[in-house]
Structure 1
Amino acid sequence: MSKKGIINMINGPVIRAKNMSDFKMREMVMVGEKKLIGEVIILDGDIGTIQVYEETEGLKIGEEIISTGKPLSVKLGPGMLGNMFDGIQRPLLEIAKMNKDFIPEGIGMISIDEEKLWEVSLTVKSGDQLNQGDIFGFVQETSLIQHKLLVPPGKSGIVKSVVPNGKYTIEQTLVVLENQKEEYELKMYHEWPVRDPRPVKERKEIQKPLITGQRVLDLFFPLAKGGTCAIPGGFGTGKTMTQHQLAKWSDADIIIYIGCGERGNEMTEVLEDFPKLIDPKSGKPLMERTILIANTSNMPVAAREASIYTGITMAEYFRDMGYDVAIMADSTSRWAEALREISGRLEEMPAEEGYPAYLPSRIAEFYERAGYVEALNEQNGSVTIIGAVSPAGGDFSEPVTENTKRFVNVFLALDKELAYARHYPAINWLNSYSGYTSILENWYEENLAEDAINLRNKMLELLYNENKLQEIVMLVGEDVLPDDQRLVLEIAKLIKIGFLQQNAFHELDTYVPLEKQYQMLKIIDYLYEKCKKVLKLNVPISQIKNSEIFGEILKMKYTVPNEDFSKINEIEEMIDRYYDNLEKKYLE
């Protein structure tokens, strides 16, 4: 017999109801005659509070609330890749066929396609023992990703029966498991509560960087597979553009992009542009390894809060297959604003700037679900979380940015002055940091060069020194500085413009292999050492700064092919010729 409550108060997306004593916390319910989807968030004796994931206009006091008997869950199976969902995993393309202009109320929990036939290859036979997390078959979901069919966590047994290989829908039973307690049917999909992290065998130490092809990240502030990263920045500083570059070029197997409360026009642009993008590594559509979750600022705020959990649960599912997944949340500030609005409706005591007191723990819970793990089936996979943060007015001292900073290991501070100067990515090298630099040092030594991290540290130190010198220059001008300090200013300019500034729309510069990045930084360092050497001979800075050589270094990001670095060798020969002659001249 289904449990039923009665609505007795409506406050926007928050509803209070009586006769709720038999319901459970976090239980998914259907609200009113329209059967709107909601979730029980507070139980106090007979009175329950429900947050509704759809527009509540038109609901009346006295309408019924019906239990579904399960928590808010998503279906995990073939059909997710290449799809676009709303915050509670309802497919937007399917909904568009029903109603072109908006998402109708009360359409229920439609999800991945239940009628599509998938070619299934099963790898088990009768009598086999299957444990939780084991792979029992394969589906080639897209040409890029093989979908591995997993036994749900918590289920195990002996295979009683198995269907022959062939075409099946996700609702058809493929394998029947039996154990002493029950029989259990294995289908292509299983459901999982979005707020519960999926279990793993072991959480492992970070071992590899997430290679992005973006110079400021790969060498200066490296991301890690299984790591956490925040990209805070004010309006127009390039948060979305940076995430698009990471989605397109990072060496993750699968990308999950969550548009969480962004403006409708921005999300529309994502939904229109992503299907047109070509995966640079395979030459096939990028959507073949991408899932989009769209939840714009004019959609119900409760669904915005759920969209983050929907995305991370999907990411953990593919991680359990042994894939490296990168999840882009744009932006976690809008998610926090949804928490603030619902907290206000619940009349909870506000904390700083009106946010709920539990904001830090919610942010921590989200980022803690990242990691490099050994799954239950002994496959190694990772979830990397990259969250954009949108502090009002670019104020990094506001609660969401401050609390995010506590729980992430990479902090990429976007700078409005750099953005207005058209320096992209506008990542401020003075305020940003990566906690993975020392952890990944051995990887860089073995796979790139022994001095890669030392070279990075040396270049960063030059930039710090240049920043201090700029304060003096602003007061008294550059001419009063000694030549060795003026040289620091010139080399820092090369690092900033020739290395850190990158053009996402240039064919050569949009993605740069790690080896080329290292060679570019190495030649800047080589020039610096040569200049320092002749500077000791009292050569004037006007002669040390050779405009042709400095110009070649500034242009090398556009002139050096990504596969052939011989042009850098030519620049090195130019440096040798000019500065050796200069040294010879002054020694004589």
Structure 2
Amino acid sequence: MGSPINPLERKRLNEPLDIGIRSINGLLSFAKGQRLGILAGTGVGKSVLMGMIARNTNADINVIALIGERGREVREFIDENLGKEGLKRSIVIAAASDEPPLVRLRGAFIATTIAEYFRDQGQDVMLMMDSLTRFALAQREIGLSAGEPPTTRGFTPSVFSMLPKLLERAGTSSSEGSITGLYTVLVEGDDLNEPISDAVRAILDGHIVLSRELAAHNHYPAIDILNSISRLMIDVVTKEHQGYSMRFKDFLATYKSAEDLINIGAYVKGSNQKIDMAIEKYDEMIAYLKQDIFENYDWRTSLDQLQGDYGGLTVGFRFETILRLNKNKEDLLQKDRGQINTLIQQQKDSKSFIHEVMQNKKHELNQKKRKISI
């Protein structure tokens, strides 16, 4: 097991890493040396997403650890998900699910040691581990065999002390290289608050949540943007990029909050200008989030399409859009004020007319009284 890095010797993470996936580059930007988790249930595309990143990233080398996977999936991942392009610059360590727990445990640490070697050579390494949950299960087996008491959902205390020992070895050091760590977490029953995913989120620098609902609607990669976060995005992108990303998420969240009303036809267009804008842009936002398995969108292209400058999609939310939205609201207010003033004037005119009629009637009545008296 490698020695831990002195925190004061670590270099700050301020350089972006191109992942080749449009939604991540634009909305969940990675930093070189960042550690992130991919949180998902079974069968929603974790391995496919890892294969896309391995093929498309501009990291110098990939170190891939398949821990506790089914034996069939190891060769399948290498041939189909990784492919020839990804395999050219990748090292794969496999410890299948039928291996003893010590072998599975050591496989994770060996992969990290290999990544550390290349980092010390000044290279930017992409370390991908599938899955951290099975690493934890292996440690649980060892802990129970050693007589440790089962605690949270049957996990032994050593599981939660072992996780930071593994995860803290990724990142930067005093050398020029970096290890960007990407760890999948197989959440039990799609519960994102189960013990392992909860502990991992507290250690890592962000997480990507894969949604079963999106996968069921053939939305791939099935990234739930609103529930995912990159804690270091603010350190590696411009303020303009951050602004576009925030507006994109804001409009997507607005649509999601009104989605039930929209689907049943209960929402009336014009009731809320922000929801109207979200409905108008929704199809383009979904198109931006989707990506074919073998497509590769570099950093510049991802940002251009987010801004709306690229010839393909037009999903940009510029300041002019916000200003136009505010102007429309002001125009509506002015129109409402005008209508109110008109009504008030009409009421005043009506009162004057009624008063005049009453005065005329009163005058006529007085005339009749005089005639009668005469």
Q: TM-score range by the shorter chain?
A: 0.7 to 0.9
Alignment size in residue pairs: 323
1:417-444 CA-to-partner distances (Å, cap 9, x unmatched) read 001111111111121111012221xxx3
Q: Is the 8 A contact 2:37 2:204 kept in 1?
A: yes
Is the alpha carbon distance of 1:271 and 1:518 closer, same or farther for their aligned partners in structure 2, counting shifts above 3 Å?
A: closer
Q: Alpha-carbon deviation of 1:197?
A: 4.3
User: 2:291, 2:201 → 1: CA distance?
Assistant: 25
Decide which structure has greater strand share.
1
1:290 and 2:90 matched:
yes
- Name 2:366's counterpart in structure 1: none
- Name 2:344's counterpart in structure 1: none
User: 2:82, 2:259 → 1: CA distance?
Assistant: 45
Equivalent residue for 1:302, pick from 102, 120, 125:
102
3-state SS of paired residue (1:205): coil
- Name 1:512's counterpart in structure 2: 297
Larger CA Rg, structure 1 vs 2: 2
User: 1:484, 1:314 → 2: CA distance?
Assistant: 54
Q: Is the 8 A contact 1:491 1:528 kept in 2?
A: no
Structural mapping, 1:5-404, within 5 Å: 194-197=1-4, 202-273=9-80, 276-278=83-85, 286-375=86-175, 380-404=176-200
Structure 1: which 5+ residue stretches go unaligned?
1-193, 279-285, 539-588
- Name 2:246's counterpart in structure 1: 457
Q: Which amino acid letter does the alignment assign opposite residue 62 of structure 2?
A: I
Q: Which amino acid letter does the alignment assign opposite residue 264 of structure 1?
A: G
Q: Alpha-carbon deviation of 1:369?
A: 0.8
3-state SS of paired residue (2:209): coil
Q: Is the 8 A contact 1:258 1:293 kept in 2?
A: yes
Q: Alpha-carbon deviation of 1:223?
A: 1.5
Q: Is the 8 A contact 1:202 1:373 kept in 2?
A: yes
- Name 1:184's counterpart in structure 2: none
Q: Alpha-carbon deviation of 1:480?
A: 6.3
3-state SS of paired residue (1:452): helix
Equivalent residue for 1:470, pick from 259, 278, 301:
259
Equivalent residue for 1:410, pick from 198, 201, 206:
206
Q: Alpha-carbon deviation of 1:534?
A: 8.7
User: 2:281, 2:185 → 1: CA distance?
Assistant: 29
User: 1:332, 1:495 → 2: CA distance?
Assistant: 35
In angstroms, what is the RMSD of aligned CA positions? 2.5
- Name 2:367's counterpart in structure 1: none
- Name 1:53's counterpart in structure 2: none
User: 1:370, 1:530 → 2: CA distance?
Assistant: 44
Q: Is the 8 A contact 2:128 2:183 kept in 1?
A: yes
Q: Alpha-carbon deviation of 1:294?
A: 0.9
Is the alpha carbon distance of 1:291 and 1:486 closer, same or farther for their aligned partners in structure 2, counting shifts above 3 Å?
A: same
1:473-510 CA-to-partner distances (Å, cap 9, x unmatched) read 467623366152442332441343221111123xxxx1
Q: TM-score, normalised by structure 2?
A: 0.80
Q: Which amino acid letter does the alignment assign opposite residue 357 of structure 1?
A: P
Q: TM-score, normalised by structure 1?
A: 0.52
Is the alpha carbon distance of 1:513 and 1:495 closer, same or farther for their aligned partners in structure 2, counting shifts above 3 Å?
A: same
Is the alpha carbon distance of 1:516 and 1:276 closer, same or farther for their aligned partners in structure 2, counting shifts above 3 Å?
A: closer
User: 1:352, 1:486 → 2: CA distance?
Assistant: 43
- Name 2:346's counterpart in structure 1: none
User: 2:275, 2:151 → 1: CA distance?
Assistant: 49
Is the alpha carbon distance of 1:512 and 1:274 closer, same or farther for their aligned partners in structure 2, counting shifts above 3 Å?
A: closer
Q: Is the 8 A contact 2:120 2:177 kept in 1?
A: yes
Q: Is the 8 A contact 2:4 2:168 kept in 1?
A: no
Q: Is the 8 A contact 1:372 1:382 kept in 2?
A: yes
Q: Alpha-carbon deviation of 1:472?
A: 4.0
User: 1:481, 1:347 → 2: CA distance?
Assistant: 65
User: 1:394, 1:200 → 2: CA distance?
Assistant: 34
Bigger RCO (CA 8 Å, 6+ sep):
2
Q: Which amino acid letter does the alignment assign opposite residue 364 of structure 1?
A: P
User: 1:451, 1:198 → 2: CA distance?
Assistant: 34
